[in-house]
Structure 1
Amino acid sequence: MKAQYKEIEEKMNKTLDALYREFGTIRAGKASPSVLDRVTVDYYGAATPIQQLATISTTDARTLMIQPWDKSTLKLINKAIQASDVGINPTDDGSVIRLVFPAPTEERRKELCKQVSKEGEGAKVSIRNIRRDAVDKFKAQKKANELSEDDLKDAEKDVQELTDKYTKLIEKAVKEKEQEVMSL
């Protein structure tokens, strides 16, 4: 039983970690290398993440500098960024690419908040699905006479407590990210 709870909590924790990673890709006005996590470059026929082709660093709060290890990839990286949904036009000086992030407009901030809420709702749905799957397993064990009625009730209660805990953590993370987005 303890192993099952540990497995359930690990799954919920992975959902929360995925939400934090997703929030990292939402540009909140500060330059962060994670905004390029989903941008891939067509490098010798393979979709290659920029992080595998260049060093990405922040030079100040609003500027990212991308320094390719192989200068021949400069144009490919530039093209991939322009084609992505990052929403920033890269500046190429022949050896490095700079991305200057303007402060987001009020309208853009509201869009970002909607995106944050949507990601949060998706994480909550995942948590509820984990709960449902766990409760279904416990009910199957009860049906197979591996659990008593009392054990089933206790297991459902414990899983619900875990669900509530992670739902609150998700709501807190969403609220913090929305505040970060709106305070730019």
Structure 2
Amino acid sequence: MLNDIYTDVKDRMGKAVQSLKKDLASLRAGRANVSILDKVMPEYYGVPTPISQMATVSAPEARLLVIQPWDKTTIPDIEKAILKSDIGITPNNDGSVIRLNFPQLTQERRGELVKVIKKKGEEGRVAIRNIRRDGNDMVKELEKDNEISEDDSRRAQDEIQKITDTFIKEIDGIILKKEEEVMEV
């Protein structure tokens, strides 16, 4: 019964951490990263489609992404979707591939990115704390229904707190690593 609650809490916290990692991967640091295009969805025969399902995306250099569509007629659609997105890069189209040149980040832009990273980190911590609260509520409900003793309830809440501390520490490490990546010159 309590093990089910622990498992549920760990699974949900793990998903929150994975969501944070995915969000941070789409942030543009100093170098080109193909995951930046994950949220860009061009129209393909009237259906929003991820670029990775329409083209080969590669990073041949540190600040260059090359998108090579399998169907050349989709180049204008991909270009339009990139321009509409919030990545802030103007695509260069030569008729067969689209190149995205990533300029060197200014110190001001790096500062803005660090603020965004910290905000996303805090959102991740809040998600973890909400999951902790849900787990503690489930434990208190079991205690209220006399399915577990008060001592078991206290031990279970302590265990949930230990799980929470582990995941918060993991989030802090992820945030610190991403900040260092952005601040690299």
Classify the TM-score, shorter chain: over 0.9
For residues 78 and 40 of structure 1, the distance between their equivalents in structure 2, rounded to whole angstroms, comes to 11
Gap regions ≥5 residues in structure 1: none
Q: Does the alignment pair 1:79 with 2:80?
A: yes
Q: Write out the 4+ residue segments of structure 1 that deviate beyond 6 Å after TM superposition.
A: none
Q: Among the aligned pairs, what percent are the same residue?
A: 48
Q: Does 1:104 align with 2:105?
A: yes
Cα offsets for 1:36-69 (capped at 9, x unmatched): 0000002222111111111100111111000001
The Cα shift of 1:3 comes to: 2.4
Q: Which residue of 1 aligns with 2:125?
A: 124
SS, match of residue 102 in structure 1: coil
Match of 2:134 in 1: 133
TM-score (norm 2): 0.97
Residues 1:23 and 2:2 are matched in the alignment:
no
Q: Distance in 2 between matches of 1:5 and 1:174?
A: 25
Q: Which residue of 2 aligns with 1:51?
A: 52
Show the 5 A alignment for 1:140-159: 140-159=141-160
Q: Letter of the aligned partner of 1:48 in structure 2?
A: T
Q: TM-score, normalised by structure 1?
A: 0.98
Does the 8 Å contact 2:30/2:181 carry over to 1? no
Root mean square deviation, CA, Å: 0.8
- Separation in structure 2 between the aligned mates of residue 111 and residue 36 of structure 1, nearest angstrom: 20
- Rounded to whole Å, the distance in 2 between the matches of 1:114 and 1:49 is 28
- Aligned: 1:60 with 2:54: no
2:3 and 2:165 map into 1 onto residues whose CA distance is 19
For structure 2, the residue ranges without an aligned partner over 5 or more in a row are: none
Report the alpha carbon displacement of residue 127 of structure 1 after superposing the two structures with TM.
0.2
The one-letter amino acid of 2:151's match is D
Secondary structure of the corresponding residue to residue 153 of structure 2: helix
Tell me the number of residue pairs that the alignment of Structure 1 and Structure 2 aligns.
Answer: 184
